[in-house]
Structure 1
């Protein structure tokens, strides 16, 4: 089990739970990477953080400016699927899609967790 600690909460990422992870890779023109990051960041704070089942999201920016990766934890596949039915979520998805050339959302489960030797989990 890996424990992620923020100033507000403690979240366990584990291989033996119903949790699922959304790994969404967005392809963007380098000139739009920051705009997409800002839109995803805003939606996460204003929309997703209040949705039942949402646990956390991490946004990653490719060094070459051509991709943004959203790694988001959900309590279950059902919670994620229910969130997709919400109008405010669909609105956010449409806004993000308008900034990208393409996106590839993939829902996965954590199967193993590894740390550097000596690192604490």
Structure 2
């Protein structure tokens, strides 16, 4: 069962770019090397006030283990110093797709 980890980060628009760079650095140096890692996708709000970090894991246990990793925790602390995080693991409960022609 894939685990979807979302972190909605509220940030001063002047620091959105810095936050994105930090999230990319953490993903490249730590997160992508963790067991069960599938992908990370970042979304930046048009007004600069939010960034959404969507990480996919092979299992909820892999996501949880990563949250406990000291290197991942260090990046989380750096992130929390410039943004207000609101993390959580989510399950897909509905999906609607366009009808094919």
For the superposition of Structure 1 and Structure 2, which TM-score range results when normalised by the shorter chain?
over 0.9
Q: Which residue in 2 is equivalent to 1:116?
A: 98
How far apart are residue 64 of structure 1 and its match? Answer: 0.5
Give the count of matched residue pairs: 101
Q: Which runs of 5+ in 2 are unaligned?
A: none
More helix by share: 2
1:85-100 mapped onto 2 (5 Å cutoff):
85-100=68-83
Q: CA RMSD in A?
A: 1.4
Residue-by-residue CA offset, 1:68-98 (whole Å, 9 max, x unaligned): 0011111111111111121111111011111
Q: Which residue in 2 is equivalent to 1:35?
A: 18
Question: What TM-score, normalized to structure 2?
Answer: 0.92
- Which one scores higher on RCO, CA 8 angstroms, separation ≥ 6? 2
Q: Distance between the aligned counterparts of 1:72 and 1:108, measured in 2?
A: 10
Q: Distance between the aligned counterparts of 1:111 and 1:20, measured in 2?
A: 12
Question: What TM-score, normalized to structure 1?
Answer: 0.78
Q: Distance between the aligned counterparts of 2:40 and 2:93, measured in 1?
A: 18
Q: Which runs of 5+ in 1 are unaligned?
A: 1-17
